Amino acid sequence: MRRAYQAVLEQFNHLIDQPDLAMPWPAMFEAEGPMPPTVALSIPNQVLPEQIPLYLQDLRGSGPSTTGTSKVSLSLLSLPEDGYDRQTRIRDMVQRVVYALAGGANRIDLPLPFSSVRRQTESPNKQPREQFLILRTLVQNLGKTTYKGQVPLGESVEAFLFDRNGEGILVIWSKSGSGQTPYPVIQLVLGKHPQRMDLWGNLSPVLQPRNETGVIELEVGPIPTILIGIDGHLAQLRGSFAFDNPLIESSFKPHVRRLRFTNPYPVPISGRLKIQGPERVDRCPPTTQLFIGPGRNV
């Protein structure tokens, strides 16, 4: 494949200046040795969506490319209609796109969402399928965005944060199956004017918080949902909070834990941090004054 790619690339070099030619590469083959600047990686539908970033990581770490860091054009295949129900196929396709963007894919190729319709007196005609609306929604909301990371909202919820010119976009779904109820309810602080969009492009306002804390409760189902117009920096700040060890031993001796988080804002932030816990558990110190520079970790 490398010899064929090099031969074709030499011919294109005589025709145009700096051709961007992608070399097709099946994901099941290990990429050893130097790779060309652009690789078209083909991912079969047997690969789980959450495994896609691993294939991208392996490809980029396979070795030095001929002219620098490789760009990856990802080719994804949807689940077949026979053997999978409609909701499973929709959920799988959206998750593949989200995980591919999270893994750093520069381009994503998907099968055209059209089907042929033949009438008695006419030639075959291409008609859009339901996937056309879903892909349109993904392109409009996730196109030209920057992936900012996953936001921990609970063990049973996946949340991926994207940014576009300062606007936060959050794609969330529940890990539970479509037949499992009740769906998990999470607490969020999204900002002043968040909106909720389903995969078909229907917008609905997010319920306003009941008190001045700004915390809202949101039910998350297995079909991915897109939250737009949220405060992306605030979501990153909340998502970065974590203890170095979230477990506490059952003993009466003092336990030392370190709280870590990051200031994602481009300006310094300051405030008072208060840790709440069970009534009979003493916290020392209960409050702490903080001043953190932009991009700094604590």
Same domain, 15 and 46: yes
Return the minimum-mean-pLDDT range out of 46-50, 185-189, 205-209: 205-209
pLDDT tens, position by position, 219-269: 899 999 999 988 878 877 877 777 888 777 777 788 888 888 888 888 898
Contact 50, 99 (CB under 8 A): yes
Overall domain count for the chain = 3
pLDDT at 117: 64
pLDDT at 257: 82
Residue 170 lies in a domain: yes
DSSP 3-state of 110: coil
pLDDT at 134: 94
Boundary-marking domain end, from 224, 239, 254 = 239
pLDDT tens, position by position, 85-105: 999 999 999 999 999 999 999
- Give dist(CA 141, CA 121) in Å, integer: 40
pLDDT tens, position by position, 113-170: 888 766 666 666 788 888 999 999 999 999 999 998 888 887 889 999 998 888 889 9
Q: Give the Å distances, CA to CA, from 223 to 147, 172, 175.
A: 20, 9, 9
Same domain, 39 and 92: yes
68 pLDDT above the threshold of 80: no
195 pLDDT above the threshold of 50: yes
Phi, psi (deg, nearest 5) at residue 151: -110, 120
Domain extent at residue 179: 146-239
Boundary-marking domain end, from 239, 261, 282 = 239
Global pTM exceeds 0.85: no
DSSP 3-state of 140: helix
Residue 123: CB atoms within 10 A of its CB come to 7
Strand pairing of 22-26 and 38-43? parallel
Average pLDDT, the chain: 83
Q: What percent of the chain has pLDDT over 90?
A: 28
